[in-house]
Amino acid sequence: MKIRLALPRIPLTLRPMPHRSAEVVTELEQEILDGKLTPGERLPSEEKLCERFDASRTVIREAIQQLRGRGLLRTLKGSGSYIADPNLESVGSALHAYSTLTAEDSFLELIDFRILLETECARLAAHNAGEKDIEAIVARQDAMVAAKGDREEFGREDVAFHLSIANASHNPLYATILGALERRCVDYTQANRAEGDWYDRVLETHREIIGAIRNGDSDAAAQAMRHHLLLSRRHYIDVGETGEPAAAH
């Protein structure tokens, strides 16, 4: 007589396989950063990449799209994909792709980053801006005054005001970074909706920034920009907590 023992079944925990396209991206990215694939060099064809990575065309195309979004590849229609030249346009493209894909709950991260970035933009603008730069900043402020009461237009001109200061800093990297975040900044201004005297408060703090830049006072310009963006951050938090714009204070 055979006796069968019933052994307890032990559940198997399957480790999730990493996404195939992520593996391809990681390897190609490392080759680009190591200089094995040089700027201007044509990426091997989809067919060859499929053979090399033992992957489908869908996986390869997704990997190429991710690398393009990171600014590491550029694609020419009918010609293929090439290793991108290291330039500010590539940085801007990668940041634009990232900011477009981020969720609404990242607005506080955006404004915190802008506080760091734009404080220095204002400081440099006070030191480097010429008359034409200041005229461009003032023109954006005047456009905001004309758009007062129109939340969408006011928001777009608000972002243009900040971009004009980044340009006046004469630091191409600062201007490129803020320009790449332009769409996200506009979304932020719409979410941070303006009512009541909020328009006047924004314009007043802008005037303080303009005055400091015009006077060439770097420290005052940086302080005025930081104060302005901190007020904007506080207003956004109040809107999120109450569902209504913050009261004047």
pLDDT in tens, the chain (249 residues): 555 545 445 444 433 344 788 899 999 988 988 889 888 899 999 999 999 999 999 999 999 988 887 778 888 888 889 988 766 565 656 565 555 555 555 788 889 989 999 999 999 999 999 999 999 999 999 999 999 988 889 999 999 999 999 999 999 888 888 888 888 888 888 887 666 688 899 999 999 999 999 999 999 999 999 999 999 999 888 876 544 444 333
Rg of the chain over CA atoms, in angstroms? 25
The tokens describing 75, both together, are 């694609």
Q: Is 15 left (phi over 0), alpha (psi -120 to 50) or beta?
A: beta
pLDDT at position 59 is 93
Give the integer Cα–Cα distance in Å for 76 and 98: 22
Is residue 194 helix, strand or coil?
coil
Q: List phi, psi (to 5°) of 175.
A: -65, -40
What one-letter code names the amino acid at 70? Answer: R
DSSP E strands in 66-195: the ranges are 73-76, 80-83
Q: What is the pLDDT of residue 71?
A: 76
CA 182 to chain centre: 7
- What tokens were used for 227? 């104060």
Q: Any idea which architecture 28-86 has in CATH?
A: Orthogonal Bundle (1.10)
Distance (Å, rounded) from C-alpha 192 to C-alpha 197? 14
Alpha helices in the chain (DSSP H): 20-33, 46-53, 57-69, 88-101, 107-128, 131-146, 151-168, 172-180, 182-191, 198-214, 218-242
Q: What is the dihedral of CA 221, 181, 73, 52, to 10 degrees?
A: 120
The pLDDT, as a whole number, for residue 94 is 59
Determine the pLDDT at residue 14. 36
Q: What is the pTM of this model?
A: 0.64
**Span(s) in the chain for CATH 1.20.120.530:** 90-242
Six-digit token pair at 104? 């609404």
- In the chain, residues under CATH classification 1.10.10.10 are 28-86
Distance of CA 42 to the CA centre of its chain: 28
Query: So what CATH class is 90-242?
Result: mainly alpha
Selection from 119, 127, 116, 144 nearest residue 213 by Cα: 127
Q: Give whole-number Cα distances, 184 to 49, 58, 59, 141, in Å.
A: 35, 29, 29, 20
How far apart, in Å, do the first and last CA atoms of the chain sit? Answer: 90
All residues at 6 or more sequence positions from 104 whose CB lies less than 8 Å from its CB, including other chains: 187, 191
The angle, 0 to 180 degrees and rounded to 10, between the axes of the packed helices 172-180 and 107-128 is: 150
Residue 17, CB-side half-sphere exposure with 13 Å CA sphere: 4
The CA distance from 151 to 244, in Å, is 15
